[in-house]
Structure 1
């Protein structure tokens, strides 16, 4: 079915060419390497353009893009661009503006918030590819064993459930997450800050996370560790490891990117088939409103960009247009499609029974700061949040120091 749909996509795009392109992609959350290789093989079969992939861990992506884009002739023709790199790469013009390739119809079929993630100083630096964001995962069988028949709506209710699970000896640690000292830790902190009703920076671009919602978020994370509710191994976990812990039935709750949903009911890898559900991330009871504020998440939108020093820009765009096309995304529904027409398609709604949950969650997205110095800002956040989680600094001390250091970077 996938192959038939994609053949139709190529016919619709009417692309015929020859040559070779090199693509740098992430082997972590989002579309998996096997998905990309399938897309690449079909693209090659139908266009004659060979595709060679380089897959690296997320935390290697940024430096590889910077290094390969800084020389006259680059290694890659297409690179995966995280929204947090848009300002830096646009400011340095290390990737090619794509506005001349993007049609009015394409712009109208993707939400402005997604386009905005890849826009800087009036130009579009990547084509939206992945509407990634975090969701809530829970084990309903474990909850039933603990005496509950519903998912938690607030963080406080979730803590109550975790304490019951632990007290009854069902699980040693009801929660685990990707809290290693990497970018994923910042993502977890962003949604938790949102779950307490705030954001890391204010409307003037100033860091304010050392007070209010940001402080409550880190105090909450530390509390989960101190009370033995969160697996201490979370401090060394990335997203795939957190996913593995959940589908191994070691924990009852976690949050993760949309990719985790595809593993829940795969009997070849999952011990939670028929038990696990995906739902909306709870927020604190202090801000919970069933009509207006009942969930919060972090955006992780990703796009495909063409490095400025690619010698195959036309072929690169043909590949980008192919893998981001609505019909190809409709064939790979394990990830959230960026196109409104695909999200609203009745057939898609039938095939993907959680599309409504995804639509509600993505509407509650909180963003990491869009600043050209983001790499330095993130590095500071990672360091001091992790120090608090390790118990080496109090949450307030850690966040105060992080603000001081970020202020110096931003000046």
Structure 2
């Protein structure tokens, strides 16, 4: 699971360069045509048909082609089974192509840039929103039957992430939202009755745990010079009430008090107060999870959903039975208890020749009934708000109730077409701030100056 996250992050920059090349050279439609009618999990191209994947399979037969990564928790063929059920109920044939994320990403971006029509439903990653919107690569979904029900029923953070310019472009299929978890036993041993709710309490409780020899540090996070580090810094900034841009897209990073307060807190916590594990500066997600599982830290500020299960697996964890999910995330007040969401969605290419049937598939595969079956069968986190209070699901996953409470305040990464350049600047300059090489004020001025040059 963790390895796939790192591959995904690494691949993004390569894809951006590829898309830029395709657009600038004005290349024609991709020579790649349809794949075999069987779904595939490999990264290798499947056997080609003699016709476009998006065309009619036979005279009078309705057919769509779907290109998605396989859900990392779907070891039972659940998506394949449900797709065949959709075929049975709708009469629409589905060519389902499952590949590793990096292979799907390459195919989707090549096809979009070339203006091809091979696919009718495609992967739509949270990092692609601004770029795909700018290039008019996707079909707005707002006008389709049932779209309003979906927008009103799904977690708002998932809807907002795939909406831009007042239009809704993608329905989430993979809810990769992060949550605040903590070691309840450690807090009880220290005489602390409830988890921290504010950053000030994180510091206070961490110092108590250290003084009593219960934890080495309050928490460890991932602040390396990589996309992982940008994710965690963005969460910290959001949870201090800060932002990189104002509502009009203007840079405010050097003047926003929340940004300054977040970085000052982290800088001091690492270098002066020393309640943040200094290994945060070089650790990735797998490393910080392992530190938490060893019982060296008490708080996991932005844990992915699977952390709870791993924490209770004696083969990898020394803290079995000690972990709880808080009913809130960390912030400076009630308005800033933010969690980060990095979801994936299904979307319809603007060039698809089968948009109505593509929407039927998306609607079926994101319905509340489907979402519950998916949660019951493979343990995937729901996209529908109502399911976080579903009695059947809470019997299996009682901690999901608090997942639902935290997810009400989920936010995604900034929607900008030049995100990779943005991330490269942030990750380098912020680490200089965190290690104390530069002051927060000077570092933020440098970041803003560099970002402005990119925007010119």
What TM-score does the superposition give when structure 2 sets the normalisation length? 0.70
Match of residue 131 from structure 2:
88
Q: 1:210 to 1:19 in 2, by over 3 A?
A: closer
1:258 to 290, 298, 305: 305
Matched, 1:305 2:353: no
Q: Distance in 1 between matches of 2:205 and 2:373?
A: 37
Determine if contact 1:134/1:298 at 8 Å carries over to the other structure.
yes
Partner of 2:280: 234
Equivalent positions of 1:121-200 (< 5 A) are: 121-200=165-244
The alpha-carbon deviation at position 92 of structure 1 amounts to 1.1
SS at match of 2:222: coil
Q: Does 2:380 correspond to 1:338?
A: no
Once residues 310 and 248 of structure 1 are traced to their aligned partners in structure 2, the CA distance between those partners, rounded to angstroms, is 50
Flag the 1:384–1:65 CA change in 2: closer, same or farther, 3 A: farther
2:238–2:336 CA contact under 8 A, matched in 1: no
For 1:392 and 1:144, how far apart are their aligned partners in 2?
A: 38
Q: Distance in 2 between matches of 1:182 and 1:79?
A: 27
Is this contact kept in 2: 1:259–1:335, CA < 8 A? no
Q: CA deviation at 1:276?
A: 0.8
Structure 1 unmatched ranges of 5 or more: 1-15, 26-31
What is the SS of the residue equivalent to 1:252?
A: strand
The equivalent of 2:369 in structure 1 is: 327
User: 2:388·2:403 contact (CA, 8 Å) conserved in 1?
Assistant: no
1:38 lines up with 2:85 in the alignment: no
Query: CA, structure 1 residues 122+164, in 2 after alignment: closer, same or farther (shift >3 Å)?
Result: closer
Alignment partner, residue 3 of structure 1: none
Q: Indicate conservation of the 8 Å contact 1:73/1:311, yes or no.
A: no
Once the 2 structures are TM-superposed, how far is the Cα of residue 101 of structure 1 from its aligned partner? 4.7
2:329 corresponds in structure 1 to 281
| Maintained 8 Å contact 1:133/1:297 | yes
How high is the TM-score relative to the length of structure 1?
A: 0.77
Shift of 1:267: 3.8
Q: What are the superposed Cα offsets for residues 169-191 of structure 1, whole Å, 9 maximum, x if unpaired? A: 44433311222333333332233
- Residues 380, 154 of structure 1: alpha-carbon distance in 2 compared, 3 angstrom cutoff: same
Equivalent of 1:24, from 43, 53, 69?
69
Match of residue 221, structure 1, among 263, 266, 279: 266
1:263-318 Cα offsets, whole Å, 9 max, x none, are: 3333444332210111122323xxx3xxx447232343432234556788778656
Is the aligned partner of 1:395 residue 2:443?
A: no
Aligned partner (choices 284, 287, 292) of residue 246 of structure 1: 292
Q: CA deviation at 1:155?
A: 1.7
Change (3 A) 1:192 1:348: same
**Deviations 1:93-147 (Å, cap 9, x if unpaired)?**
2344444655243344335654332223344321123454332111122223334
Distance 1:35 1:393, change over 3 A: farther
Distance in 2, matches of 1:189 and 1:93, equals 30
Describe the shift of the 1:379–1:283 C-alpha distance in structure 2 as closer, same or farther (beyond 3 A): same
2:245 alignment partner, SS class = coil
Aligned partner of 2:51 in structure 1 is none
In structure 2, stretches of 5+ residues that fail to align are 1-60, 88-92
- Partners in 1 of 2:104 and 2:203 — Cα distance? 35
Number of positions where the alignment pairs a residue of Structure 1 with one of Structure 2:
382
| Cα distance in structure 1, aligned partners of 2:416 and 2:190 | 45
Q: CA RMSD in A?
A: 3.5
**Max Rg structure:** 2
User: Which residue number corresponds to residue 404 of structure 1?
Assistant: 449
How far apart, CA to CA, are the structure 2 residues paired with 1:183 and 1:71? Answer: 28
In 2, the alpha carbon distance for the partners of 1:248 and 1:297 equals 24
Distance, in Å, in 1 between the alignment partners of 2:105 and 2:435 is: 27
- What is the alpha-carbon distance in structure 2 between the residues aligned to residue 75 and residue 382 of structure 1? 37
Q: Provide the rounded CA distance (Å) in 1 between the counterparts of 2:104 and 2:295.
A: 31
Relative contact order: is structure 1 or structure 2 higher (C-alpha 8 Å, sep ≥ 6)? 1
Residue 90 (structure 1) shift: 1.3
